[in-house]
Amino acid sequence: MSPPFLKTFFIRCCMLSIMSFSVFFPAHANAEPTQITLIQTQKLLSYPSEVRLSTVLTDGHSQVNYKIYPLGTALIDPHKQHIIDTKLHGVIAKLEQLNTTDSHRLIKQLTTLRFAYRENINTVLSDVRVNPKRDPMLKTDYWLSLPKRPDHMLLISPKEEASIIRPIQPNSDLKYYLSSLYNTDVPDSVWIIQADQKVYQVNDINWKAERFFLAPGAVVFTGLNNLNNEERDLNSDIAHLLAFRLEP
């Protein structure tokens, strides 16, 4: 049997060894790797631990050979995809419950689109680089969408069998696009979903002098008419769901 003081000495030595090991090998040595999948190219960016958004954007930009559309760039958390899937299923369920020709047309259009959980952060590389508050640390796995600049806008309407694509025209506003689509029967209220996820409703279109311009890749949603009180928020739900649409 070893004397008690020898046991105490041995324990203290072990504790000192552990403390010394912690000094030479910092906590991040055992950090989980961070992996970023580039959607358009399916390339994988791998980092040994957490990484700044600016680094990910810089590395992502270097992996493509085309001009990236900043407004459409999206950092996607696949671990939160269930949130968007739940929103989509909820909207589809309400449209199915309405069981009208218009609601079924919308179901057909929505199910052809791709939705993903886009983090609500600035992904414009020049902005992120100069502002530390816009340059968070990223951990674990993400997807990064770096689309090309689209040359069109998209109309989604319950009056159409399929969504309609129209080329973006310089200096053309919302009234121009609606007039070219509907001639004299222009809707008086629509939702605009810009490429950077901004969503707003425009009412009294035919009477307003204010002009509303669409960014490339924007969506115009005309909405359902004559909704009852139980479904009064359905158009808003659809518009905000469309903010999570991904460009191809």
Residue 66 lies in a domain: yes
pLDDT at 7 (0 to 100): 47
- What's the number of domains the chain is made of? 1
Q: What is the pLDDT of residue 3?
A: 53
For residue 145, what are the CA distances in angstroms to 22, 194, 235? 39, 16, 27
Q: Report if residue 216 sits inside a domain.
A: yes
Q: What is the pLDDT of residues 20-39, one digit of tens each?
A: 333 333 444 567 899 999 99
Domain that holds residue 126: 34-242
Residue 11 has pLDDT above 70, yes or no: no
What integer pLDDT is reported at residue 221 of this predicted model? 97
CA distance 156 to 168: 16
Instruction: Kindly compute the dihedral angle of the four CA atoms of residues 44, 47, 51, 56, in this order, to the nearest 10 degrees.
Output: -30
Domain assignment present for residue 19? The answer is no
Given a cut of 60, whether residue 184 has pLDDT beyond it is: yes
Half-sphere exposure of 242 (CA within 13 A, CB side): 30
148 domain residue, yes or no: yes
Higher pLDDT, 56 or 186: 56
Considering the entire predicted model, what is its pTM? 0.83
Q: What is the pLDDT of residue 180?
A: 86
- Does pLDDT of 4 surpass 90? no
Cβ–Cβ < 8 Å for 96, 225: no
Q: Which of 47-56, 98-107, 198-207 has the lowest mean pLDDT?
A: 198-207
> Do the domain assignments include residue 248?
no
For residues 234-245, average pLDDT: 97
137 located within any domain = yes
